């Protein structure tokens, strides 16, 4: 099969387009023919060797995919050749205390597709039979892969963990990111009023087309002051945060008393100093999250098939052009998902 193979950590050019042996599914495993793979920021961290996840080489990146079952291993009865599927990126063990109580996303001995085992930047990927989600009939592969991780992540953060309610004011940071653009749509679907942040008027205009009510340009405006101004002086009830650093501090400032933060990332600053006095006096709560379950993924894929959620695809690339996709992601000059088509 053709694959993008990483032999060592490095820049985009460390990824090589090669022909390698197609994996064989063992007992209990399924081989998927990948028709669409997403480019995620974590891929760049793993490529650079800064993800904190141990890497064995050669390695194949890629945490998400949409495709078709090509072959099943011995003992697999749930799936058959030709089934349209997506692999779940959290490779849960299925037997630990958390898995058996429905919390597979915080499995006690999980792996991550494209990190702890070969991922989806390839024509084929092999996963365990219980790591698959069925795709709705009306959803094409590019739409499915573009929707999967961002919508499932934003759904877990806002709906499951953040308990977002209709009528609440919600702040969604990084409108142009995958999770940001997904969060805007999920919050609107839930009946919330959406404030969002981005770095340019152009990106904020696109965010408004996705349903955002208020745009805040974080380069020229203070998030907290602007959020209070747009909420009658109170601040927002809940914030979806994925930037970290100064943005997290400004987000805490933007919260109303009793406000809550759901946080799924910190690429803009992993170590943050903030004022604990303000934190407890305002009765703020902060929840770490960012890993969905297969049930949440299945739910958002259905909503996408029904066109209630619309993934934003910035650009499609041939698999061999993965280095170009990484360069574009690192430039930050994009809005929405990048899709590789092996």
Answer left, alpha or beta for residue 123, where phi above 0 means left and psi between -120 and 50 means alpha: alpha
The CB-of-109 to Zn ion minimum distance in angstroms stands at 6
The CB-of-186 to Zn ion minimum distance in angstroms stands at 27
Please say which residue, 106 or 234, places its beta carbon nearer to Zn ion: 106
> How far apart are alpha carbons 138 and 305 in whole angstroms?
6
The CB-of-300 to Zn ion minimum distance in angstroms stands at 22
Please say which residue, 269 or 290, places its beta carbon nearer to Zn ion: 290
Q: Pairing state of beta strands 29-39 and 124-128?
A: antiparallel
- Judged by CB under 5 A, the chain residues 64 through 93 that form the site for Zn ion are 92-93
Identify whether the C-beta of residue 32 lies closer than 8 Å to the C-beta of residue 53.
no
The CB-of-112 to Zn ion minimum distance in angstroms stands at 13
Q: Pairing state of beta strands 313-318 and 15-19?
A: unpaired
Please say which residue, 96 or 266, places its beta carbon nearer to Zn ion: 96
> How far apart are alpha carbons 156 and 290 in whole angstroms?
7
- Judged by CB under 5 A, the chain residues 92 through 131 that form the site for Zn ion are 92-93, 96, 99, 107
Total residues at interface with Zn ion (CB under 5 A): 5
Q: How far is CA 182 from CA 132, 210, 212, 269, 312, in A?
A: 22, 9, 11, 22, 8
Please say which residue, 115 or 238, places its beta carbon nearer to Zn ion: 115
The CB-of-157 to Zn ion minimum distance in angstroms stands at 21
> How far apart are alpha carbons 79 and 59 in whole angstroms?
27
Please say which residue, 295 or 318, places its beta carbon nearer to Zn ion: 295
The CB-of-318 to Zn ion minimum distance in angstroms stands at 36
Sign of CA dihedral 110, 114, 117, 121: positive
> How far apart are alpha carbons 278 and 201 in whole angstroms?
31
Answer left, alpha or beta for residue 292, where phi above 0 means left and psi between -120 and 50 means alpha: beta
Please say which residue, 100 or 225, places its beta carbon nearer to Zn ion: 100
Q: Determine if 172 is a binding residue for Zn ion (CB under 5 A).
A: no
User: Where does this chain bind Zn ion (CB under 5 A)?
Assistant: 92-93, 96, 99, 107
């Amino acid at each position: 099969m053709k694959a993008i193979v990483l032999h060592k950590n490095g820049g985009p050019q460390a990824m090589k387009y090669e022909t390698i042996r197609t994996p064989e599914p063992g007992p209990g495993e399924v081989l998927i023919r990948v028709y669409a793979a997403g480019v995620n920021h974590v891929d760049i961290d793993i490529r650079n060797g800064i993800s904190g996840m141990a890497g064995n080489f050669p390695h194949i990146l890629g945490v998400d995919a949409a495709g078709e079952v090509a072959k099943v291993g011995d003992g697999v009865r749930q799936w058959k050749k030709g089934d349209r599927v997506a692999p779940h990126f959290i490779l849960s063990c299925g037997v630990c205390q958390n898995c058996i109580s429905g919390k597979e996303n915080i499995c006690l001995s999980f792996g991550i597709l494209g990190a702890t085992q070969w991922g989806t930047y390839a024509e084929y990927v092999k996963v365990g039979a219980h790591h698959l989600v069925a795709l709705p009939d009306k959803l094409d592969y590019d739409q499915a892969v573009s929707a999967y991780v961002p919508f499932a992540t934003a759904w877990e953060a806002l709906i499951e963990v953040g308990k977002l309610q209709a009528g609440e004011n919600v702040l969604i940071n990084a409108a142009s990111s995958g999770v940001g653009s997904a969060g805007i749509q999920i919050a609107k679907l839930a009946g919330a009023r959406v404030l969002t942040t981005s770095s340019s008027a152009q990106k904020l205009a696109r965010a408004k087309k996705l349903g955002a009510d208020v745009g805040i340009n974080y380069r020229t405006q203070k998030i907290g002051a602007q959020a209070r101004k747009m909420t009658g002086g109170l601040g927002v009830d809940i914030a979806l945060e994925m930037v970290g650093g100064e943005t997290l501090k400004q987000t805490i400032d933007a919260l109303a008393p009793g406000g809550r933060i759901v946080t799924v990332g910190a690429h803009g600053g992993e170590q943050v100093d903030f004022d604990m006095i303000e934190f407890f006096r305002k009765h703020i709560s902060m929840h770490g999250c960012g890993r969905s379950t297969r049930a949440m993924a299945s739910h958002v894929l259905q909503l996408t098939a029904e066109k209630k959620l619309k993934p934003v695809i910035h650009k499609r690339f041939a698999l061999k052009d993965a280095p170009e996709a990484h360069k574009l992601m690192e430039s930050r000059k994009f809005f929405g998902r990048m899709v590789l088509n092996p």
